[in-house]
Amino acid sequence: MFVLRDRVDTSSIDAHACPNTRPPAGRPQEVPITTPIADASWKYSEEFVTEDEVLLAARARADEVGVSAVSNGTGATLRFLAAILDARTAVEIGTGTGVSGLWILRGMRQDGVLTTVDIEAEHQRLAKQTFREAGVPAQRARTISGAALDVLPRLTDGHYDLVFVDGDKRENSAYLSEALRLLRPGGVVAFTDSLLGDRVADPAQRDGETMAVRELVRLVAENDDLVPVMLPVGDGLLVAKKEWAGEA
């Protein structure tokens, strides 16, 4: 169940019809709008864009090596973002076995290049297998093995259309700083697992990982150079567009 809160001006509501709802004069009230989503509808939405045999095989390899791959809905959203950006260049933090990378590549231009970073060389070997099975030319997927915060500073400023982050949640704020440097104006950054199984929305949850994601959400929401949205796909996808200089 998702609870959305919208500010609704109730100052003009008829007091006789609703005698207990009149707010102080000129002061809008927050009215909760509850929109439950049934499990069947959620599953239907997540699987609206289906995965082919290559993606299913990559997902099976992820299970074998203990990697948490993005959901169908998250992958389809990443492909959509790459497509509407007409992305020529993208960076991925957290290669895994190539599930999210293949979704991104399928949304990019035919000459687009994905740079994907992972500290586990074995994961990248499996991702390369995924890309080969999908018929992706080798030059379109540049894999770099190493810690993301060591690799990212070597990438070119303002050169990338899309940055996707699926790494250590405790490093998200640092990844955001790097993404803002790497993105061209008009580019997009996306962070997966931004709801953390309902932990982020629960103030009683105070573990380090949850607090780090909350801090990321705050930084994105308060950055005047970003246009953010939280999408309820997978376990939450936080997306933000980097504004063009001078945009309102």
% pLDDT > 70, the chain: 84
Instruction: Give yes or no for residue 16 having a pLDDT over 70.
Output: no
How far apart are alpha carbons 97 and 58 in whole angstroms?
6
Question: What letters, b where the CB count within 10 A reaches 16 and e where it falls short, cover 39-78?
Answer: eeeeeeebeeeebeebbebbbebbeeeebebbbbbbbbbb
The whole-angstrom separation of Cα 137 and Cα 187 is 24
- The CA distance from 105 to 136, in Å, is 8
Using CA atoms, how far apart are residues 67 and 127, in angstroms rounded to an integer?
A: 12
Residue 175, pLDDT above cutoff 80: yes
Instruction: Evaluate whether 90 touches 162 at the Cβ level (below 8 Å).
Output: yes
Which pLDDT value is given to residue 244?
Answer: 76
Share of the chain above pLDDT 90, in %: 77
Judge whether residue 170 has pLDDT over 90: yes
The reported pLDDT for the residue numbered 3 is 38
**pLDDT tens digits along 50-62:** 899 999 999 999 9
Is-contact 242 189, C-beta < 8 A?
yes
Average pLDDT for 14-34: 48
Q: Tokens 């389809």 label which residue?
A: 76
CB-CB contact of 189 with 163 (8 Å): yes
Q: How many whole angstroms separate alpha carbon 112 and alpha carbon 117?
A: 17
Give the residue-averaged pLDDT of 186-195. 97
Q: What is the pTM of this model?
A: 0.84
